[in-house]
Amino acid sequence: MNRSLSSAFEETNRPLVEGVRAHLAAFATNPTMHARFLNMLSLMEHIGSRKIMTCRAMRAPGLELLKHLTEESRHAFFFKRAAEAVAETALDYSPANTMAPGPAKFYMGRLDAEITGVLGDAAPELPYLYMSLIVELRATWLYRIYQDALAQAHSTLSLKGILAEEQMHLDEMLSRLHAVDPEAETHVARFCAFEDIRFRSVWSAVESECAGQRFAAE
Ligand SMILES: [Fe+2]
Ligand SMILES: [Fe+2]
Q: Is the pLDDT of residue 40 over 80?
A: yes
Amino acid code (one letter) for 23: H
pLDDT of residue 2: 67
| Model pLDDT, residue 216 | 59
pLDDT-based confidence at 1, cuts 50/70/90?
low
Band (42; pLDDT cuts 50, 70, 90): very high
Own/partner long-range contacts of 61-70 (Cβ < 8 Å, ≥24 apart): 64/172, 65/128, 68/132, 68/169, 68/172
Mean pLDDT of 181-201: 96
Mean pLDDT across 136-143: 97
Query: What is the CA angle 14-164-34, rounded to 5?
Result: 65
Buried b (16+ CB within 10 A) or exposed e, 131-168: bbbbbbbbbbbbbbbbbebbeebebebebeebbebbbe
Residue 218 has pLDDT above 80, yes or no: no
Tell me the C-alpha to C-alpha distance, in Å, between residue 89 and each of 33, 81, 138, 194.
14, 10, 29, 37
Ligand closest in space to the Cα of 72:
1
Average pLDDT, the chain: 94
Give the Cα separation of 101 and 116 in Å (integer). 23
Q: Which ligand is nearest to the CA of 73?
A: 1
- Listed range (13-17, 88-92, 118-122) with the worst mean pLDDT: 118-122
Residue 157 has pLDDT above 80, yes or no: yes
| Among the bound ligands, the one closest to the CA of 42 | 1
Percent of the chain with pLDDT over 70: 98
CB 100 within 8 A of CB 87: no
Give the pLDDT mean for 76-104. Answer: 98
d(CA 91, ligand 2 centre) in Å: 23
Sign of CA pseudo-dihedral 196, 198, 204, 207: negative
Centroid of ligand 2 to alpha carbon of 192 (angstroms): 16
Q: Is the pLDDT of residue 120 over 90?
A: no
Q: Residue 38 gets which letter from DSSP?
A: H
The average pLDDT across 166-186 equals: 94
Neighbours of 121 (CB within 10 A): 8
